Amino acid sequence: MSQHNQEIYRTTSARTGKMLAIILGICIVGGVIFFSMWDYWISYQAPVVAKMAGESEHKLAPGVATGKHMDVTLKFIESPDFKTFAFNALPGEDGHNPEFKVKSGDEVTFSVTNNGKSFHAFGIVSDPENVNSILWNSAIAAASNPIKPGQGGSVTFTAGAPGTYYYVCTVPGHALQGMKGSFIVE
């Protein structure tokens, strides 16, 4: 005996209409959610745009040149388990994330080397949680075009208005993982 195993699909135009209405409804709801969050989607600016915005936004007048110059060398390093990122040495070790003090108007050169396995980038920021708040054109590379392992770079800039700032890795998340030190302008 051969059985009739073939499935037979039956529907009505009303059911098809209902299905289309559900699909359309999902599209509309999804669209509303997507476009209502538009400001959020575009909130992460391209590094170069952020850099330019930061310059006008913070209005930190560059200090009057003091004629003094400071050279700083930093190494990007990572813990073996990759959970902790730091400059020069891991937390608790000598030379970990050293603090720098300069006078407003001093010229500073940062030379950095990537001694880790991850990609890194450098910048002085006003807010360590906002890697786009880079000041004084102090960036070396950028999150979108970072320093690869074994490579390095340098930047020379003039320290601006007095305050407490931070030198960080500008790759998102790395400052929070420990790649952050104080940069104090007096």
- For the CB of residue 80, give the shortest distance to Cu ion in the complex, in Å: 16
Which residues touch 121 (CB under 8 Å, ≥6 apart)?
139, 140, 141, 142, 143, 145, 146, 147, 169, 170, 171
Query: According to the binding rule CB under 5 A, does residue 125 interact with Cu ion?
Result: no
Query: According to the binding rule CB under 5 A, does residue 135 interact with Cu ion?
Result: no
Query: According to the binding rule CB under 5 A, does residue 102 interact with Cu ion?
Result: no
Q: Which stretch binds Cu ion (CB under 5 A): 5-13, 16-24, 94-102, 167-175?
A: 167-175
Query: According to the binding rule CB under 5 A, does residue 51 interact with Cu ion?
Result: no
Query: According to the binding rule CB under 5 A, does residue 175 interact with Cu ion?
Result: no
CB of 179 or CB of 185, closer to Cu ion: 179
Query: According to the binding rule CB under 5 A, does residue 180 interact with Cu ion?
Result: no
Structure-token match 């930093």, residue found: 74
CB of 124 or CB of 171, closer to Cu ion: 171
Interface residues with Cu ion (CB under 5 A)?
120, 169, 171, 174
